[in-house]
Structure formats: structure tokens, C-alpha cells
A and B are shown apart, each in its own frame.
Chain A
């Protein structure tokens, strides 16, 4: 969503991964491409043989350690958190670092069937030749097991209970029975599963205890302070824009403004704690702050002199918060009236917002 050109992590950060492989001094677990410590370096940053490894996830090092350590054991890793707390982002980079392939992905929705988890059939071949290996359609999870790689499962909690049950057997037996062919697929060393789930989804609470028990849950918190959130947005914006054509300077002031507004709306309270606010249905996450700022910069570079102005931010805010919900329009309007109007230096943003 933030990256305009969407390369898989292992492609985009190939130089870094290659450098880490070349610099490897520690034991690499079977089926992995890097030692666990190098995976950690890849995620939190460092250097490898003089190559700078950029930090991918900003936050508590301990969380990342727990995530990497989990992949070393045979439990699944479940990344939990509010929207936009880098669950998907971290899962993709972990997969890229551990096995060099972040693309074995199942997107969880209500409609996902057991066939999308284990295997399906190519019905034409099936009818023509009967149940043969050639007729079997492999799922990303099937392939990950077969090749000893990391499979990713997005939005696990949105899936129906039977699908979740299918995962239980995969996680506990590390095999898939294929009765039609009287065989079974047994996972190769290196197979691991990283799932993400959004705590705003009702489903998280409904996940069965049996399934939860198969996973190590790691909560990714929203950034603890405005300062860290500003830091995250600034660094990510710099990283992303470095790879893009347009040259607009990451606007410090604009980032501060956006992060402040998003935090206040997210928490339903002004940062000084004095006023309660209505919360919009939009999540106002760090991720959305990043894409808002990126959008504003793209606009400034394309149609202006590269300087991000209040007009760009106002447009971005309206886009990010209002989206399709009429009520959110009122929430934003109220916020402008009650907070921005009275805040020093927010006059022009207030005017832009209320003029829209």
C-alpha cells in the first residue's frame, strides 16, 4: 500500500541479504538461508561485511527476538496487533530472511476453504486420469512444507473454524494426509508458518484455544510515544522515497502534524489528555500515516515545487479518514473545530479542512 512499486522483500533487499549470506559465521539451521542471528540483524539493522543493513522493524528488539526464536522451534508464529502495526511487514521480511521467499502466502477471508490450505484438484485432469499426483493442485502451504520454506497466512482470524482446524493438524503433525493418493506429505525441515491477525477483528477472540495453543503469539504494539512514531514514519518515508523518482524532502513538520492528529484520533483524546474526542472508524495507524505522507510528497513533487503544504495534508487527511464512511467526515470536522481551530500554528490546516 505504501510502496508504489511492489517488489517482494527478498528482491528489494537482495544486496543486504546477499551480504549477510556472505558474511555468515554462525550455524545456519537446516532449511534456512541465514543463521538466526543474521535474520535478527536483517530485521533490526546493523552491518555485514561493510554493507549497511537497514532496519526494517523499529521497536522493541525483544519482540523480534521472540519472533525469530519461535521460528527456530516448531510452533507457528502469530503476529497480533492493531491495524498498521507492521504485522504483514514483519512477516514478509522474516520469511524473506529465513528462506529467501516471502511469496508463499494465503490471504485469510471468510471464503477461504480447506482446499486453499491443504491441496485441491485440477478437475479436468482428475476426471480424465483419476486421482494422480499430476491432478493435485498445491497450495502455498503445501509447497512450503514440500520445500521446507516459510508459509505466510494473512488475517488468520477471519477464516472459518474448519479452516482453522485444518491448520491445527498441519501444525501439530507437520504433515498432510492425502487419502485419495494413499500417501501423505511430510514437511521438510525449514517449514514454518507465520500468521497475522488484527486485534480489531472480532475473530481473534473466537480463534479456538486449540489453535492458539499451536502458535506463539507476539503482540506488536502501536508506537509507545509520539516521538517514536514520528521517528518510524520519518525513517520509513525516507526509505521509500529514496527508491522513488520524485525528489521531495521528507517534511519534518508535516510528519509531526500527521502523527499528532492520528494519535489523537486513535486514542480518542488529545495528547495533553484534556479533551476527549470521537474516534473515527478509520484506523489512523502508523502505516496510514506513512502512506498519507508519501501521498502528500508525491503530490507536492508532481504538481508543486516539492514542498509539502497544509493543502496536501488536508487532502490526505480527508482521504485517509473519511474514505467511505459519512460519520467519519463528521468526526474529522468536529476534530477540526474543537482542536485544530484553537491550536497554535494549525490555523491554515484548519481552514483547508473546513473549506473542503
Chain B
């Protein structure tokens, strides 16, 4: 590397600078950095990373700290802004820091302090932004394309990770220069580089002999440049905090982009462990896959592993690659180990590519204030025993009277605590569906602790110092970001369950304010359903539900008014609409005084008479009217003759089967209708009738049979034989054809 002579000349004993440009999470870089360290034995190691996080280096390399872990920086004041700097065991930065601390060299982060980055994030108004270089992504893609690769990761792996020893640093330097010529550096990058240079200058005056600088390849060409009279940049900062948190491969893989993540952390760890024996990687990869597959019960022989290696090599050579890259391995795995099917190897591939590793921090390591609060609450709520990887059930009783004051408080306190964790997406408790019973005073939870939950807990610090304030802040953000009434209503419900009265009021107001916007039928219904639940359980939680009652009334009205429009649709859409109509009918039944009965009756009547509505829905509306007594038998027969069709019948039967069974006239009309159909239409009708009757219970079916046999003058035995006897071959064939039409 070109070493700036002028820097050295400036001071008599100025050190030798070794600038090493890397890609974050690149094992190839780590390998070569280790070699360089052993050779040069630098007495100072400067690493790209927030300069105020230097103190965390000791934590990072402490006994018991197992990567993946991340430095987390977050603002002290809400709205919380944060960013993370993840390290894997094979990160070059991590390797360099570790070498330094183990070999008595000084180590230091030299990038902008986190407080400056947080200030920038606060200005930009983004919640989280991965470290660094995201905006240049397309340039990286372009670079890959220019080298004849379609995918940047394949390009990178071939061009860098598989380089023979000693080539990486040069190649990365050239890469960085190439990048800079493709896109002019942003203002932000220029500032960062100016800052890093100032830190390097400062270190140079401290009498070191050899300084190793580990930075992104993009910055490498700039860091040993000499700009006369250059001063450090002026920085705007906001108060912030730094901590270390466990990270996971899953999360690492979920982040995309050149600098942000690493799509295949487990595989890159394998590359690191192989220490440059690139030729052995394919075999190690497929053997690993075969082991996972064997555990899952499917055996792959070593001959097949060998064949997969050969195929991967052949694929690589077709692409002109030195050695297979992950893409080649993946394809060979599907073809040989999967025998052509992705499904067969999907799990084993995920295991070898992404892996499930979760980082560990030693006892007594940095803890966020939220973690402290969590553990305190856990003790108070007597839930400490549940902090176990083994799932356990917990049944909560929220009633005050029955169990006595303290018991009820404990139940409610626990419930709110668990709901708050849920709002923070900390996967500790899962409420069982139907767990909140009709009565509303009982909840069933399954509790299970996991490293992922631990991570989410650490991240909760992004929103607030306590579990309560974090949950509130998180839900508040959701209200602000909410794109629909339904989402807001969701938060309203959560506010209730979490016991956050102030948030409840905010959500109510937000709901009211956004009512002016146009919401369709489906949204209106889903909000109605939420509000109806809130009212049902409201008395147990918060008392003031007047605002909710008023909202329910308005939304119910909107649902009634938008129903006609929603009902002009095809069969598939009508199925979804039917579900909503069903919910709306329930809401009407549950809150007769809060909802407008006249509007409802109108809407239902209109739907049942409508020419344009989907027949499924008008059938259902007809059933609603029969139930309400607004349509009599005579009215029904008018309807039947006007609109009987299989879909219409299905809608009718979806509501009230008893009516079907008890009205032979209806069956007779259906029978007459079927008689008029030609072969093709008859088959279609059958598909739909099969669907209708398949939801009937055995009793209901047999009642229908009775009616039919009476109608056709059959003895009950004959009818029974027709229904439950063996199928003829022809019938079986017909059934198969029907299934094909359905499927």
C-alpha cells in the first residue's frame, strides 16, 4: 500500500500506516488481517466504528462474549433513534480488535461518534438505519454486472473470499477505488473520512511504530491521503447511549445490502473456519447438509456427497469461477441431494446457509435499563420461574371479586405485563386463541423464553427505559404510522389489554380523526369487530368506554352504507365478504342499542333484492331476513324463483341450516332448478352444492335426506342406501372429475 511519506516526514518518529480496506463480515479479510498482524505486530489498531464506543471493545472481547453480538447506539430522548453495528466471529473488525487486546496493542474506534450519527438519524426522521453504505448499493450491483456476474454476493465471494493468500488487500483497495470512480462520495462519507483521518493523525503523534487501520474498502483509498491544514469536521450531536447486545444469524441474514448484513452467516463462518482451504469447502458444506438430512430421517450416501462436489465444481467452471461459490453449491445440492427438488433440501440448506446461532453476553455484562425493569417486573409478578426455554402454560383470572383483591390485581398485572411484552414483539408469551374466553375474565398463555426474546428485549430499549414506556412509545408510533382504520383499531385494542389509558385515549382520538377518510366495507367491519371486543372486555380494564360506543355506532353505519358496493364482486371476493357480513350481524346482535337497526335492516333487504350483488351474498341476506322475520314464506318463494342458483343457495345455507331442513318447499325448488340444467351446468352446480353440504353436520345431513326422501316418495331405507351405499365406478369417476374442477 502506498504509505504517505509526508505523514511520516511530518514527525520524526511517525509510524508506519497499514491501511486495510475490508468488506464488513468478510472472512477473507479476517484471514489476511490475522496474517498481517502476526507479521507486522502493530502496536495500535484503529477500526472503523463509533469512536465513543471504544470502551465497549473490552466487553466485546471479554471471556464469555460469543458473537454474533452488536453494538447498539440509541438516543436518550424520545423519539428514540438507534443504529446497530453487528459483529460475527469472522468479522474483520472483531478479529483485529481481538488480536490487539490479546497482544497488548492499543485499539480504538475511529469513525464518527455514535452521538453524531444519531443526530443525523434524528434529522432524517428514520427509525433505524444500518451502518454506512446503503445508498451505494446499486453501484455494487453495477460493479457485479460489469464483471459478468448477476449477483453481487456471487461476484464478491468469487473475487474476494476465494482469493489465494495475500491478494485480498490489493484487490479490496482497487475495488474501493473503482467504487469511488463509479459514484462520487456523498457529503456524509466525506465527513466520515475527514473525521477518521483526524483520528489517524492524532494516533500518529502518540509514538506508535506500526498502526493498522481496518476500514471499509470504500474508504481505504482516502485514509492515508494528506490534505494540508485539514481540521476535524464540526459535528452536531445528540445525547445517546451505547450498549452491547446479543445478535443472531437470522437477523444478520435478514439485513441486506453491501455493508449491512450477510445473507449467509453460517456459510461465511464455514469459510472462516476453513481458513482458506477453499478446495475443501464444497465437501464440508454437503457433508453438513447430509448430516442435517440424516437427523431429519433421510439418508444421503457419501457417494452422493461426492457427486454433489463434482457437480458444484462443474457449475463453477461453467461460470469461469476458481471454486464453487454458494450459488453453485446451492444448485448442486438441489440437483444431487434434493434429486431435483428444492423442497427436499430446503431445511438443510437453510441450516448451512443461515444457521441459527445466537450470540451470548457474559453474566453481568452491560444491561439496558429496560432489561433491568423487565427482571424487576418478572419478580413482582411472580413469573421468574417461567423464564425457561421449556414452554409452560399459565392461566390468568382477571376477576376482582372471586379471587379477592390481591389475586385479581396479580392476574390483571400479569396480563398487562404480558400484553406489553407482546406489543414490543418480545416473544415470551403467546396468548392462546380462544384464551380470552367469552366471559372475558380468563386468559390462557403459553410462556417460553428464548435467545431471540432476549434480543428483542434488549432492543426494546430503543423505545423506552421501562417496559411500560417502551410499549407505549412503540404503540404510539404505530398509531402515527397507521395506514388504515383497522390498524389503529388494533392498537386501540392493544392499549386496552396493555393497561395504557393515555394511549387508549390517543388511539380513540386518532380513530375519530381518521373517520373522515374513505374506508371500505372490509375495514369498517374489522374496526367494528375490534371496538365490539373493546366494549365487551372494557369494563374489566378501563372504565370510560363512551367514546368507543360512539365510534362503534358511526362505523356500523359506514359498514351498512358501503355494503352494496362491496357486494358487487366475483365468487372468491364474495366468500371474504360473507365472513365480514357474518361478523357485522354478530356486532348488531351484541350491541342492539349502539347500532342503527333501521339502516341495518335496509342494507340487508337491499342486498337480498339486489340484481348486481354476488348471489352468495344475496342468499345470505335472504337468510338474515328470514331470521329477523322480515321475510315470510311467501316472500321466500318469490326470492327462490327469482334468483335460485347454487351460489345463492350456498349463501342461504351458510346462515341457517335449520331453515333448510324445515322448509321442504325450498328443497323442492332446488330440485326443480337442477332438473333444468344441462350436463355442464349441472356439474358446476354439483361442485358448489358439494361445498355447501360438506359443512353440514351428520344430523343435519340426515334431516335433509329425510325431507328429500319424503319429497321423492322414497322409503327412508332407500334414501339411506342412496346416500351411504358404495359408489359405482361411474360415480367415483364423476367425483374425481368434480374434485379436479374444485382444485
Given A69-B315, A69-B318, A218-B335, 9 new contacts (CB under 8 A)? A62-B331, A66-B331, A72-B310, A73-B310, A75-B311, A219-B341, A276-B741, A277-B741, A338-B680
Residues of A within 8 A of B317 (CB): 36, 69, 72
- Stretch from A133-141, A209-217, A243-251, A292-300 contacting the other chain: A209-217
**A328 to B: closest C-beta gap in Å:** 13
B737 pairs with A216, CB closer than 8 A: no
Interface centre among B331, B336, B571, B742 (most CB of A within 10 A): B336
Binary A-proximity of B153-182 (CB < 8 A = 1, otherwise 0): 000000000000000000000000000000
**A95 to B: closest C-beta gap in Å:** 18
A70 pairs with B311, CB closer than 8 A: yes
Judge if B232 is at the interface, Cβ distance under 8 Å. no
The one of B335, B737, B742 in contact with A66, judged by C-beta atoms closer than 8 angstroms, is B335
Top 10 A-B residue pairs of the complex, sorted by shortest distance between their CB atoms: A217-B340, A69-B314, A72-B314, A73-B310, A69-B315, A334-B680, A216-B335, A276-B741, A65-B318, A274-B570
Binary A-proximity of B114-147 (CB < 8 A = 1, otherwise 0): 0000000000000000000000000000000000
B335 pairs with A212, CB closer than 8 A: no
Binary B-proximity of A314-334 (CB < 8 A = 1, otherwise 0): 000000000000000010001
The one of B336, B741, B742, B743 in contact with A216, judged by C-beta atoms closer than 8 angstroms, is B336
B307 pairs with A75, CB closer than 8 A: yes
B318 pairs with A268, CB closer than 8 A: no
Residues of B within 8 A of A334 (CB): 680
- Which chain B residue has the least Cβ–Cβ distance from A65? B318
CA distance A65 to B314 in the complex (A): 9
Residues of B within 8 A of A62 (CB): 331
Judge if B700 is at the interface, Cβ distance under 8 Å. no
CA distance A36 to B314 in the complex (A): 9
**A185 to B: closest C-beta gap in Å:** 23
Binary B-proximity of A17-43 (CB < 8 A = 1, otherwise 0): 000000000000000000011001000
**B232 to A: closest C-beta gap in Å:** 50
Judge if B339 is at the interface, Cβ distance under 8 Å. yes
Judge if A68 is at the interface, Cβ distance under 8 Å. yes
A-B contact pairs, 28 of them (CB 8 A): A40-B318, A62-B331, A65-B315, A65-B318, A69-B311, A70-B311, A70-B335, A73-B307, A75-B307, A75-B336, A78-B340, A80-B340, A212-B339, A213-B301, A216-B340, A218-B340, A268-B740, A268-B741, A268-B743, A273-B572, A274-B570, A274-B572, A276-B687, A277-B741, A279-B740, A330-B680, A334-B680, A337-B680
Residues of A within 8 A of B311 (CB): 66, 69-70, 73, 75, 216
CA distance A37 to B339 in the complex (A): 24
Judge if A174 is at the interface, Cβ distance under 8 Å. no
Residues of A within 8 A of B742 (CB): 276
Judge if B452 is at the interface, Cβ distance under 8 Å. no
Residues of A within 8 A of B679 (CB): 330
Judge if A143 is at the interface, Cβ distance under 8 Å. no
Judge if B222 is at the interface, Cβ distance under 8 Å. no
CA distance A65 to B319 in the complex (A): 9
Judge if B304 is at the interface, Cβ distance under 8 Å. yes
Residues of B within 8 A of A75 (CB): 307, 311, 336
Residues of B within 8 A of A74 (CB): 310
**A38 to B: closest C-beta gap in Å:** 11
A217 pairs with B318, CB closer than 8 A: no
Binary A-proximity of B340-352 (CB < 8 A = 1, otherwise 0): 1100000000000
Chain A interfacial residues counted at CB < 8 A: 32
Interface centre among B315, B317, B335, B683 (most CB of A within 10 A): B335
Residues of B within 8 A of A278 (CB): 683, 737, 740-741
Binary B-proximity of A64-91 (CB < 8 A = 1, otherwise 0): 0110111011110010100000000000
CA distance A273 to B572 in the complex (A): 9
- Which chain A residue has the least Cβ–Cβ distance from B150? A61
Residues of B within 8 A of A66 (CB): 311, 315, 331, 335
CA distance A137 to B683 in the complex (A): 56
> Which A44-78 residues have C-beta < 8 A from chain B?
62, 65-66, 68-70, 72-75, 78
Residues of A within 8 A of B743 (CB): 268
Binary A-proximity of B717-743 (CB < 8 A = 1, otherwise 0): 000000000000000000001001111
CA distance A337 to B317 in the complex (A): 54
CA distance A279 to B331 in the complex (A): 34
Residues of B within 8 A of A65 (CB): 315, 318-319, 331
**B314 to A: closest C-beta gap in Å:** 4
Interface residues of A, Cβ cutoff 8 Å to B: 36-37, 40, 62, 65-66, 68-70, 72-75, 78, 80, 212-213, 216-219, 268, 273-274, 276-279, 330, 334, 337-338
- Which chain B residue has the least Cβ–Cβ distance from A333? B680
Residues of A within 8 A of B335 (CB): 66, 70, 216-218
Q: From known contacts A69-B314, A70-B335, A218-B335, infer whether A213 and B304 are also in contact, taking CB-CB under 8 Å.
A: yes
CA distance A80 to B335 in the complex (A): 12
Residues of B within 8 A of A274 (CB): 570-572
B339 pairs with A68, CB closer than 8 A: no
**A314 to B: closest C-beta gap in Å:** 20
> Which B479-499 residues have C-beta < 8 A from chain A?
none
Residues of B within 8 A of A80 (CB): 340
> Which B662-680 residues have C-beta < 8 A from chain A?
679-680
Interface centre among B310, B571, B743 (most CB of A within 10 A): B310
> Which B303-358 residues have C-beta < 8 A from chain A?
304, 307, 310-311, 314-315, 317-320, 331, 335-336, 339-341
CA distance A124 to B320 in the complex (A): 54
CA distance A219 to B338 in the complex (A): 12
- Which chain B residue has the least Cβ–Cβ distance from A331? B680
- Which chain B residue has the least Cβ–Cβ distance from A268? B740
Residues of B within 8 A of A73 (CB): 307, 310-311, 314
Residues of A within 8 A of B341 (CB): 217, 219
CA distance A290 to B680 in the complex (A): 30
**A280 to B: closest C-beta gap in Å:** 11
Residues of B within 8 A of A273 (CB): 572
Residues of A within 8 A of B310 (CB): 72-74
A36 pairs with B318, CB closer than 8 A: yes
CA distance A80 to B687 in the complex (A): 33
**B443 to A: closest C-beta gap in Å:** 40
**B633 to A: closest C-beta gap in Å:** 35
CA distance A279 to B679 in the complex (A): 16
Interface centre among B301, B318, B742 (most CB of A within 10 A): B318
CA distance A283 to B61 in the complex (A): 64
CA distance A212 to B338 in the complex (A): 11
Residues of A within 8 A of B320 (CB): 37
CA distance A337 to B680 in the complex (A): 10
> Which B566-618 residues have C-beta < 8 A from chain A?
570-572
CA distance A74 to B740 in the complex (A): 41
**B359 to A: closest C-beta gap in Å:** 35
The one of A68, A212, A276, A277 in contact with B318, judged by C-beta atoms closer than 8 angstroms, is A68
- Which chain A residue has the least Cβ–Cβ distance from B320? A37
CA distance A74 to B687 in the complex (A): 51
- Which chain A residue has the least Cβ–Cβ distance from B742? A276
CA distance A334 to B679 in the complex (A): 10
CA distance A167 to B709 in the complex (A): 61
**A66 to B: closest C-beta gap in Å:** 5
**A187 to B: closest C-beta gap in Å:** 17
CA distance A75 to B679 in the complex (A): 52
- Which chain A residue has the least Cβ–Cβ distance from B336? A216
**B160 to A: closest C-beta gap in Å:** 23
> Which B277-319 residues have C-beta < 8 A from chain A?
301, 304, 307, 310-311, 314-315, 317-319
CA distance A216 to B310 in the complex (A): 12
Residues of A within 8 A of B301 (CB): 213
**B689 to A: closest C-beta gap in Å:** 15
Interface centre among B341, B570, B571, B680 (most CB of A within 10 A): B680
**A199 to B: closest C-beta gap in Å:** 11
CA distance A337 to B320 in the complex (A): 55
- Which chain B residue has the least Cβ–Cβ distance from A80? B340
Residues of A within 8 A of B680 (CB): 330, 334, 337-338
